[in-house]
Structure 1
């Protein structure tokens, strides 16, 4: 085989190999990328995310900002609207640690207790822990709400106790007492001798009393994504159970993300997070796509489906027919709570900037027996205006209602009853931004407000003539961003599919180039190959003529001896 043929064959084989390898890069990169995500994102004792998840002490500081509402005119409740001044923020560095971690490889979950620790940061805070705050008395209001359906004698006993101690419906305490140290109250002592089956086992009141450096969040069981990354971070059990006692089926199911991990391949549909503080899943609706540290992320926000009690699902008929329909749409709008206060019975007017109209609840008909309005389950028999979430059931019967700060996205009647609140999207929204391919949180801005329901009581004297108002008490903000170093590594990971696709295309191009070059040279060489000797062609053409060939010495001279052989070349001559 000629040398140039050996080289051509070698380059041809190389070209075919590059084309095959390039195609593999182009078509197999999703599988390769999925395997990388499976290895890097799944939670295990050896994963990169484990140490950050286990203890946030070594991460950039995480701060919880707390704002309190100071009631400036409590004595004028029956004359003027309650007026509030926002006080704060008071900064607290928050550290989260996981205790008693146990990986359950048989069902690919991890069990743990969560510990939250707060440290006050005086330098960052706008105010002091000794600041005096006046607002509704949570203990008195909660006790009155708790006994409202009891026998009349018990209600009168409470009224007598409150009147004899000159109790009022409001109180003034320091920030420190209201938040962490708490303050004592005689009602805690009295509650121990009353026939109560659901009372807190505490002797003081404070919004975060006994929670600092505790594991009061309870037992949690979460998916690790070890075998199926699409299940990563989903909460399976809370307090050793997969259902709650606070709500009826189907709203009593533990579901949604635990809040720290999210499965990859996010879509623009809503996402669900299970809130331990609210004792229920929270739906976040897609709001838009933003750029964070140069990384594209999907932003989700609390909106109509959660705040309007209008989250609907279709269940198989054999399952849906067993659900208790105690809070139908008709019951919801006819509820005494709404009719007395004149609240609007629709949510469209409230959510003027609804960004998810294409997924409106019109897709589910109220007449469909398989459609369940999950939002109605959380009303606890007493649905409230849009913008509020009822947490009475998991707060020992206290009339607690959660909203966005300053009643943002709430029914206008909530703002009309008070003064001093100024809601806006920039300062009062609750958003979660996820990188869609990996599900990694780029930014979480958690903002929630605690409100107490003040309502009149015919039996308890101090509440005889008060109006029915949702009183803002406190709100907090917790903002978490992906660290810059982690964002840089995430960019590299996200660039991997593009790099693999580009390499594949380049390999295919080089392979095709090699094969094309070889074919070009082959045909060019064949076209310019030497032709057959013209003398032989002439002989062939005159084959009918008999010829005889002899060789002649054209250089011989007469002086040379004809018998001596010369070394000169002989030339053929035809005859």
Structure 2
């Protein structure tokens, strides 16, 4: 009897355990996705209590700025009307440090901040030194010449005389450091004295001088604490809800985020939109493919072919015109009137005539396309490489001798890539809390459900095995009930003691 009672208790325990596992697994299947979603929403919003706040405030990802210059090989021949020939020099790599300050929260679910940037040259990662000399177009001279194109001849001759007196030429030979961070130019001093609003430079002139130890404007973005649907979206930039650089409301709109984080729970139908102060416009990247970065699932977003297309190829871009060939964007309206153009490096994804007009350009999808790898569940970038090229439109201006017989051409000045990759302790923490733990919970719920069902299905099997135990010998049949008369340990005893009849004895 003791063994039968033990079997009953073991069977009961098996049933209870199986039922609990099955119920717990089913409950987890229902609740875990919503719990994970709540945790993600809690930790990606801009709030001091969120997991990602410190990452948003002081970006731990090491960013690098890699600059490639187009050294002009034949400046004298260009002045005679020949095709320009360039040679790519670099990269000259700078570590980029970013941090936010003046962080202010508002009652309308927004926060404003200034993000400061500082650059530090990295000789070990560079192919050259900042003391290297580069021959490139003299932007100040050629810009001033273009601005005088429709002026009276007398004014042009006066400008030519001033250039000659100051020793200014159409091409210059400057060091990398001077081109990047600024150099003294007597022409700039004169322009600032007589035309104080023409250039925003009060001191040295450099292509990146405005970026070092400075910020990219006052951003005001939605925190997502009260209204998650607008998380990270830009509300205003420098107090503006739209800019005034372009010729259509659509092109002037400030759309998307500030370019650091996006809304979570992305799908292949999602897009990445952000406002770039450096490009003076909003940009949109599109989904390309799914991938994996250091064990973390990612979505790769790339620039569509229409990003810098002109208005004739892509009508919504008509507001960025006046345009030249497709694939380059005129940014003169936000760059002190200089005939500067933005594009992909080596005129990748642009009209082929642009690259054919300059010897030494070789557009390549692998080398010159830009991408961002985003963790789709959180909207946080894992790996990014943004590559852009700055070019100058040059041509001969009648009456200004320094421009010679230059044939109209969009001449590349440099291209740069901004790259950043999550690594180290930040990557490990991110992987553990936002990838590994949700994955464990995801699989645990199905394991528990399967285990519970298996245990429940095992009960009748055990009962069947116990009910079909070995038969007793015939010599004990009068003392022990036959197996088919024994109650199963898996069922209750249906006969109580009062129903049993005592055995009869002969007198």
- Using the size of structure 2 for normalisation, the TM-score is 0.83
> 2:165 & 2:378 partners in 1: Cα distance?
62
Give the corresponding residue for 2:363. 423
> 1:108 & 1:528 partners in 2: Cα distance?
76
Q: Find the structure with the greater CA-based Rg.
A: 1
Give the corresponding residue for 1:281. 282
Q: CA deviation at 1:481?
A: 0.6
Q: CA deviation at 1:473?
A: 0.6
> 2:264 & 2:283 partners in 1: Cα distance?
19
Q: CA deviation at 1:25?
A: 1.1
Q: Is the partner of 2:249 in helix, strand or coil?
A: coil
Query: Which of 447, 459, 465 pairs up with 2:387?
Result: 447
> Deviation string for 1:298-321 (max 9, x for gaps)?
212223120224xxxxxxxxxxxx
> Deviation string for 1:250-306 (max 9, x for gaps)?
221111121111211222243212111001111222232333213332212223120
Does structure 1 residue 92 correspond to structure 2 residue 26? Answer: no
Give the corresponding residue for 2:413. 473
Conservation of the 8 A alpha-carbon contact between 1:283 and 1:305: no
> Deviation string for 1:483-538 (max 9, x for gaps)?
143333444432444433432223323433444455566788699444999xxxxx
Does structure 1 residue 36 correspond to structure 2 residue 39? Answer: yes
> Deviation string for 1:127-152 (max 9, x for gaps)?
22222211111011222333445577
Give the corresponding residue for 1:383. 323
> Structure 1, unaligned stretches of length 5 or more?
310-331, 334-345, 347-360, 362-372, 534-538, 540-548, 552-569
> 2:113 & 2:153 partners in 1: Cα distance?
45
> 2:396 & 2:184 partners in 1: Cα distance?
25
1:57-206 matches, within 5 Å, as: 59=60, 61-77=62-78, 78-104=80-106, 106-149=107-150, 157-194=158-195, 199-206=199-206
> Structure 1 residues 146, 6: CA separation in 2 closer, same or farther (over 3 Å shift)?
same
Query: Which of 21, 24, 27 pairs up with 1:24?
Result: 27
> Deviation string for 1:23-65 (max 9, x for gaps)?
1211222211101111222222233333333234xx4643222
> 1:192 & 1:73 partners in 2: Cα distance?
34
Give the corresponding residue for 2:490. none
> 1:93 & 1:273 partners in 2: Cα distance?
23
> Deviation string for 1:523-557 (max 9, x for gaps)?
88699444999xxxxx9xxxxxxxxx9x9xxxxxx
Give the corresponding residue for 2:449. 508
> 2:458 & 2:484 partners in 1: Cα distance?
17
Give the corresponding residue for 2:352. 412
> 1:267 & 1:515 partners in 2: Cα distance?
39
Q: CA deviation at 1:410?
A: 1.8
> Deviation string for 1:134-171 (max 9, x for gaps)?
11110112223334455776555434433554532211
> 1:289 & 1:11 partners in 2: Cα distance?
44
> Structure 1 residues 228, 462: CA separation in 2 closer, same or farther (over 3 Å shift)?
same
> 2:276 & 2:484 partners in 1: Cα distance?
81
Give the corresponding residue for 2:297. 296
> Structure 1 residues 502, 299: CA separation in 2 closer, same or farther (over 3 Å shift)?
closer
Q: Is the partner of 1:22 in helix, strand or coil?
A: helix
> Deviation string for 1:371-411 (max 9, x for gaps)?
xx4322222xx112222122111111111111122222221
Count residues in correspondence.
473
Q: Is the partner of 2:214 in helix, strand or coil?
A: coil
| CA RMSD in angstroms, aligned pairs only | 3.2
Give the corresponding residue for 2:471. none
> Structure 1 residues 506, 89: CA separation in 2 closer, same or farther (over 3 Å shift)?
closer
Give the corresponding residue for 2:336. 396
> 2:90 & 2:307 partners in 1: Cα distance?
28
Q: Is the partner of 1:506 in helix, strand or coil?
A: helix
Give the corresponding residue for 1:272. 273
- Using the size of structure 1 for normalisation, the TM-score is 0.74
Give the corresponding residue for 1:315. none
Q: Is the partner of 1:266 in helix, strand or coil?
A: coil
> Structure 1 residues 517, 88: CA separation in 2 closer, same or farther (over 3 Å shift)?
closer
> Structure 2, unaligned stretches of length 5 or more?
469-482, 488-493, 496-500
